[in-house]
Structure 1
Amino acid sequence: MDFSSSLTDNMNYLNNKLDVDQNFDLVYRTFYIGEREAALYCIDGFTKGDVWQKIMEDFSSIKKEDMPLDVLEFSKKFFPYSQVSLVKDDDKMIKSLLTGLACLLIDGYDKCLVVDSRGYPSRGVSEPEKDKVLRGSKDGFVETLTSNTALIRRRIRDPRLTMEIMHSGESSYTDIAICYFKGRVDEKLLATIKERIKKLKVDALTMNQESLAECIYPHKWFNPFPKFKYSERPDTASASLLEGNIIILVDNSPSAMILPSSIFDIIEEADDYYFPPVTGTYLRLSRFIISILTLYLTPTWLFFMQNPELIPSWLQFIQLSEPPQVPLLFQLLILEFAIDGLRLAAVNTPSMLTTPLSVIAGIVLGEYSVKSGWFNSETMLYMSFVTIANYSQSSFELGYAFKFIRMIILVTTALFNFWGFVGGILLSICALVFNKTIAGKSYIYPLIPFRFSELKKRFFRGRLPHREK
């Protein structure tokens, strides 16, 4: 429905449609501009009051004979604000209002003036808890979309940086920003992503980026290795944009979705570049080695415990000091689940109790569980290493992918011994080799297809590149 030139008719329709008598946070106010009645609609808590105070002061000086016949001329001549647009359709006006925009209707004009004077409630910009760095900037994304785009714009001051806004969700009408660098982005992938977002038929993106990720890439859900890299660091997002990646920002989410992403992209971290090349290379290689150890350490130890005759003489110390009361497979699996239980408990533990409860949990589950005979000390040692080493990389999704693959190898090794151990390792390799990025390319490029020059860059951090203009 289009607006009419009668303010009374427009207000009656909107008040009924928006149910303003029931919604206490949806407010409207009538006043006069040049002796014409006007109505301002806004959401309480979304609008900057100081902006409208200044606008009202300017409106009070307009005389009746100065009011133009056309609303477009009025907005150009008398509206002292930059972010103003005209809307004729009421559905578009209501969606704009519910996203936080203020809407002004004036008697005699058949269009609504939509003013972007939003001031979303948000927390301060601070360093992300999960993406901390030893050196470098300490700012991070927040839940407000415009703040996140501003953090990126602050780092890339180039007109080729493009940020397109899209919307998804019939009820939520969630804002989605697609950021890319013209001339470096994969245009085919960009067009595909845009088309998939346009075709989304969902009621709401209740879980923000995860809901969007599952909608735009619904294939091969059984492969645990992540297709997207998530980062709460604007410097990481900016560097990815300059490398030709696409960044997707979703309103109400404090992290950026980076795509396409391979296994090497996900393991990479900002600390690799905030230190000199030698130190950065050491940190990167350490992270790769630790990631491999978290995946294969406990299955390899279990295999040797089942075949002690294969243990070389220099590794004899890894044998059990006491015979197990509970089969080793069950010990390892119980600890895998117990660690997740402690992690979930830590999330819901009040911060003031975190330290004392951690000490109690360490004593009870460490010393007493060994003395009780439930676990061997060697089992506790190796699982402790795996648990702590899993935090050497920041991706939760990759950590759980390693966990699921590790548990599968443990079960196959316990059931089928040597062939189960080999089969589990082959399964983990196949999960990587036959996986594809969202762009349809190899998940382990530049290993497959093999490119030595690119592979060297993945393992060894050289000098930061200087792109020619």
Structure 2
Amino acid sequence: MPDRKDTIMKFSQDLQETIKYLNNELHTDRNFDVVYRVLTIGGRRACLYFIDGFTKDDSILKILQGLSSIKSDAMPEDAHSFSKQYLPYGEIGLIRDSEDMILQLLSGVSCLFIDGYDTCLTIDCRTYPARGVSEPEKDKVMRGSRDGFVETLVFNTALIRRRIRDPKLSIEIMTAGESSHTDIAICYMENRVDQTLLKTIKKRIRGLEVDALTMNQESLAECLFPYKWFNPFPKFKFSERPDTSAASLLEGNIVILVDTSPSAMILPSSVFDIIEEADDYYFPPITGTYLRLTRMTISALSLFLTPTWLMFMQNPELIPDWLAFIQLSDPYNVPLIWQLLILEFAIDGLRLAAVNTPSMLTTPLSVIAGIVLGEYAVKSGWFNSETMLYMAFVTIANYSQASFELGYAMKFMRVIILILTAAFNLWGYAAGIIFTLCAIAFNRTIAGKSYIYPLIPFHWNELCKRFFRGRLPHKEKG
């Protein structure tokens, strides 16, 4: 089978030859959405190719009406002059080889060929099926903007441009994937970005050898940072909010947008960046600080609560008098470690069921799950009420921060600490905590810097900013 590059050809002035070649390459006989129309422009035969569903019909109609009125004696000698005189539409291009033209066509750009011209005229009047820029379901805020990214790349870049009206904001377009040719937009502020990191990111994207970014941003993330896959703590921050992305750009970060993905990938990102949320800044400093500290505390409790409780249950002599109430009120039939592990997996099972349940059945499912995993589960003897209480808190605490990746990383570490505690008691509990802290401390961002900066290396002023939300910087005129 010949290589794709071997089939590249330069267009000739013979329109019939061009149509025959393109119809064979695009398989117009069986692809119903690849449409071509033969027409007459200025006494010459012409052919317009476009993808049905990607083209604004009104724009094409107006352009064709204008072209049909051209007289034969007014036809220019070359395609460049023709585009200047008779194509008033703003986004016009000239392409001379077939590979670029086919890629543009399959991206939604209309392509016009005229007999006697060896150049394809591209007319960018495409439109993509898109939903409204409504507030994302996951990254909701109590106060602030209610718009969110969608699956159309140009809409997402416009949402960022709307917030940063600065010529130093650069948005470069690249492609990846031999078959998909997925568009990737790299956004950064020229005067604030780490130029070394920017060059590294561009080099890695250009060097990608993949057939397609089937899982869009996740596929790209795994290609950009293929190392330390065994460490579950996220290397990137994902956000569906354009205001969060704009703020990250102004802080000197790089934002990567992938076509068909409704979220932005922000890098480099430390654990403190991932924990931050937009609500921290949509409220006054004292309220934002309270929300941030509450989120950090709850995240820490979700990691250590059940392992610490299990450790105390295995060593009741270590329980202080003021915590005597945490002891089991009833005897247990199933070992505590198995109760906790079963509930860990049962909660994930319910989460998966909720995702795949039709919306009209979500309420009945929630009621049934609450009854089965609540009162009946305790009465049956499988679980103790204390176990159910602590796991309920952990489940709710997992939703106190927006990052799914960080939530699952905490879950994996919690399960490891539970297993080590059950197997080796106090030594296992200590080993699990040390292992978790090492997984966080020895993690690295994509820039190769510390994952827990400004804690390591220590920087007091920056550390205070991570924990306490201060006043936003401002400049006074005059």
Shorter-chain TM-score: what band?
Answer: over 0.9
- How far apart are residue 467 of structure 1 and its match? 6.1
- Tell me if 1:283 matches 2:291: yes
Paired letter, 2:130: S
Instruction: Report Cα offsets for 1:76-111 as digits up to 9, x if no partner.
Output: 111111111100000110011111111111110001
Equivalent position of 1:77 in the other structure = 85
- Tell me if 1:145 matches 2:153: yes
- What is the TM-score with the length of structure 1 in the denominator? 0.99
- Tell me if 1:193 matches 2:201: yes
Paired letter, 2:383: F
- How far apart are residue 466 of structure 1 and its match? 2.2
- How far apart are residue 133 of structure 1 and its match? 0.2
Equivalent position of 2:363 in the other structure = 355
Q: 1:468 to 1:259 in 2, by over 3 A?
A: farther
CA distance in 1, matches of 2:473, 2:225: 32
Equivalent position of 2:127 in the other structure = 119
Query: Where does structure 2 lack aligned partners over 5 or more consecutive residues?
Result: 1-8
Pick the aligned partner of 2:116 from 97, 108, 116. 108
CA distance in 2, matches of 1:324, 1:183: 63
Pick the aligned partner of 1:325 from 321, 328, 333. 333
Paired letter, 1:441: K
Q: 1:468 to 1:427 in 2, by over 3 A?
A: farther
Q: Match of 2:428, SS?
A: helix
> Do the aligned partners of 1:167 and 1:176 also contact (CA within 8 Å) in 2?
yes
Instruction: Report Cα offsets for 1:182-203 as digits up to 9, x if no partner.
Output: 1100110010000000010111
Equivalent position of 1:441 in the other structure = 449
CA distance in 1, matches of 2:475, 2:152: 32
CA distance in 2, matches of 1:330, 1:370: 14
- CA RMSD between the two structures: 0.9
Pick the aligned partner of 1:93 from 89, 101, 106. 101
Equivalent runs, 1:389-400 vs 2, <5 Å: 389-400=397-408
Paired letter, 2:101: M
Equivalent position of 2:312 in the other structure = 304
Report the number of matched residues: 469
Segments ≥4 residues shifted beyond 6 Å: none
Pick the aligned partner of 2:34 from 19, 26, 33. 26
> Do the aligned partners of 1:7 and 1:38 also contact (CA within 8 Å) in 2?
yes
- Tell me if 1:56 matches 2:64: yes
- How far apart are residue 468 of structure 1 and its match? 8.7
Paired letter, 2:21: Y
Larger deviation, residues 363-372 vs 54-63: 54-63
Q: Match of 1:453, SS?
A: helix
- How far apart are residue 53 of structure 1 and its match? 1.1
Equivalent position of 1:231 in the other structure = 239
Query: Where does structure 1 lack aligned partners over 5 or more consecutive residues?
Result: none
- How far apart are residue 284 of structure 1 and its match? 0.3
Paired letter, 1:320: L
- Tell me if 1:202 matches 2:210: yes
Paired letter, 2:263: S
Instruction: Report Cα offsets for 1:225-248 as digits up to 9, x if no partner.
Output: 000000000000000011011011
Q: Match of 2:111, SS?
A: strand
Paired letter, 1:106: I
> Do the aligned partners of 1:58 and 1:80 also contact (CA within 8 Å) in 2?
no
Equivalent position of 2:183 in the other structure = 175
Equivalent position of 1:12 in the other structure = 20
Instruction: Report Cα offsets for 1:367-421 as digits up to 9, x if no partner.
Output: 1010011001000000000000110000000000000000000000011111100
* % identical equivalent positions: 73
Q: Match of 2:342, SS?
A: helix
